[in-house]
A = this chain, B = another copy of it.
Amino acid sequence: MQIVVVGLGVIGGSFTMALKEAGYDDVYGIDVNEETLVKAKNLGLIKEGFTSGEEIVKSADLIIISLYPGLVKKFINDNKNNFKDGAIITDATGIKKMFIEHIVNILPENIDFVFGHPMAGREKKGIDFATNEVFKGANYILTPVARNKEENLKTIEDLVYKLGFKRVRRITPQHHDEMIGYTSQLPHSLAVALVNSDIEGRETGSFIGDSYRDLTRIANINEDLWSELFLGNKENLLNCIESFEVELDKIKDAIKHDDKEALKTLFIKSTKRREKL
């Protein structure tokens, strides 16, 4: 099976590493950055690198796209006449419903796009931070659409287990976006707001423990990618933020009214829920 990974950033690069470790050796890379392609080739992660899809896409059986949402659409558009008949495409995009609608509209009939989302990543960008370690034991989500062939869904499922993921779930794009709004985008919003609400010029670094460190790690955020993700899942994320605010208000009210019992009740609830995870 000839595999092409498109976008050798932190996720695409990690895919090439995981593919290598899993024994796939007919792997090629596409990236706009030639230096990245040289690195990937020198590391033995790809057989050959290309700065556009034109040539290599024609023979690819499987294409793994790890680009920003807007660029995935562009890649499909640019290559719609290049894909091999029956090729499978998959992606790593963190939003699905609106994104999938855009893609399905431009996708050639004879290509099957299995939409996926590895629940793993790093806050840094670029192939230098790629590592398939983050895939190991992580969750993977597939969001099948009506036109997907079961055998192709199965191919991707089998593949990601081989790459180290421990659990693959199939859910609707709508359900994906609701869940991701809550488990990923809301935490990123909170981390950003937490860091930005610090008073300028304080020596905060001398007063932090693990909790602040953990909660703000993802405030180090790729602004191009995440602004696309937030706006591509607008309604769900706004709902999540509002539900969060309701809960934060409960804590605030309890503090304002010196209501120790109310605080304890909220803490007991969160403890029970967290332990269940």
Contact = CB atoms under 8 A, between A and B. Distances in A.
Interface of A: 119-121, 134, 138-139, 141, 167, 169, 179-180, 182-184, 186-199, 202, 204-224, 226-228, 230-231, 234, 237-238, 240-241, 243-248, 250-252, 255-256, 258, 260, 263-264, 266-271, 273-277
11 contacts: A179-B204, A188-B211, A190-B248, A197-B243, A198-B273, A208-B277, A215-B218, A220-B275, A230-B263, A234-B255, A238-B256
A248 to B, nearest CB: 4
B231 A191 contact: no
Contacts of A205: 276-277
Contacts of A275: 220
A184 B202 contact: no
B190 A202 contact: no
A241 B231 contact: no
Given A196-B270, A223-B268, A264-B223, A251 B189 contact: yes
Task: Pick from A179, A180, A209 the residue with the most CB of B within 10 Å.
Answer: A209
B238 A192 contact: no
B237 A267 contact: no
A273 B120 contact: no
B195 A182 contact: no
B212 A183 contact: yes
Contacts of A248: 189-190, 193, 241, 245
A190 B167 CA distance: 28
Contact of A195 (B220, B223, B227, B273): B273
Contacts of A244: 193-194, 197
A206 B141 CA distance: 9
A169 B255 contact: no
A179 B197 contact: no
Contact of A227 (B189, B256, B267): B267
Contacts of A271: 219-221, 223
A18 to B, nearest CB: 16
Given A187-B211, A205-B276, 19 more contacts: A120-B209, A139-B208, A139-B209, A169-B207, A182-B207, A184-B212, A186-B197, A191-B215, A195-B274, A197-B243, A197-B244, A198-B273, A219-B274, A220-B270, A220-B275, A226-B263, A227-B263, A231-B260, A238-B255
